[in-house]
Amino acid sequence: MLSSLGPSRSLKVYVAAAFARGGEMRRVARDLEREGHRVTSTWINESTELVAGECATAEAAMRAAVRNLEQLRESDLCIMFSTPAGSEDLGRGGRHVELGAAFAWNIPVMLVGPDEHLFHVLVAGRYQTWCECRDDLTYAAIPRLAA
Cβ(14)–Cβ(72) below 8 Å: yes
Task: Look at residue 4 in the predicted model and tell me its pLDDT.
Answer: 40
Chain segment 79-100, per-residue pLDDT in tens:
999 987 665 655 567 888 999 9
The residue among 2 and 103 whose pLDDT is bigger is 103
What is the number of structural domains in the chain? 1
Mean pLDDT of the chain: 80
pTM: 0.81
Q: Distance of alpha carbon 62 from its chain centroid, rounded? A: 19
Chain segment 39-59, per-residue pLDDT in tens:
999 999 987 665 544 556 778
**CATH number of domain containing 22:** 3.40.50.450
The whole domain housing 48 covers 2-143
